[in-house]
Structures are given as C-alpha cells and as structure tokens.
Amino acid sequence: MATLSLPLRDVEEMLSPSVVKVVSDARGEALYFSRGPIPLVRDGASPDLRAAAAAAVGRGLARKHVGLYVYRRAALLRFAALPPCPLEEAEGLEQLRALHHGMRIRVVEREGVAGPAVDTAEDLERVRALLAARAAP
C-alpha cells in the first residue's frame, strides 16, 4: 500500500481538520495520519497549538497527505476485509485501519502544491467551475 505527501507551508492548513497530516519514519513508512496538527513541536514548557503548528511548518516537518492510494491486489483484498478500529472511527481516516492491523503504508514525499480537494458536493461544483473556465476559449 502506498500514498503521497506534500509539504505543508501554511499554518491554517496545518490547523485545519479537513487537511490530513502524515508523519513517516526514516524508511518512508507511515507512522500516523491525523486531522490534527502533527507533529506537535514543543519549543517551550506549554506551547499553544498555533505556535506548535507554526514551528512544525517552519521547520519543514509538516506533511499533507494526498488522498491517492496504490495497492497491490493482495493488500487491497486484505484491507477491504479488515474491521474498523477505534482510531479510524475517532479521526474519520480509513488508513488508520491499515496501520492498526499491522499493514505498512509507504509514503512517497513529493514537492509542489496539490490541486483542489474534492471532499464535498460544494468542492465538486467548485472544481467543475474551474475546469469549465479553463476549457472556455
């Protein structure tokens, strides 16, 4: 199983629960995904959340998960058969099910900026409008 990540360069995105963050190990394997700001950089005794998010962004530690997955057939069949887990239900992130059950997720780090996300009906309409504007002469 594999997915992509991009650098997070905006504190508002780091704080947004609609932006999924990912932390990986030295081999590029996912350690955790969250809707919260991870990693939480502690530069003082008790940093506030905005300062911690800004520190993670400033140090280049913050990574945005791109919701594109690649599976080997066996991994997809295994994943589809797994029951949900408490972390998945708490965060609303299905990839936590794979991690909970011991599956590895390779996170390929890329540079650049992601295109617009399509997570809601409103997002879909916004993207349709963007595509229509680009197609217009």
pLDDT, tens only, 39-66: 988 876 666 888 889 999 999 999 999 9
In whole angstroms, what is the distance from residue 117 CA to residue 111 CA?
Answer: 17
Question: CA 81, CA 4: separation in Å to the nearest integer?
Answer: 23
Start-to-end CA span in the chain (Å)? 41
Tell me which CATH code domain 2-112 carries.
3.90.550.10
pLDDT(30) > 90: yes
Q: What are the φ and ψ backbone dihedral angles of 60, each rounded to 5 degrees?
A: 75, 20
The predicted model gives 61-80 an average pLDDT of 94
Question: Which of 7, 1, 19 lies closest to 105, judged by CA?
Answer: 1
pTM flag (> 0.95): no
Q: Which amino acid, 60?
A: G
Each domain of the chain, given as residue ranges in start order, spans: 2-112
Gyration radius from the chain CA atoms: 17
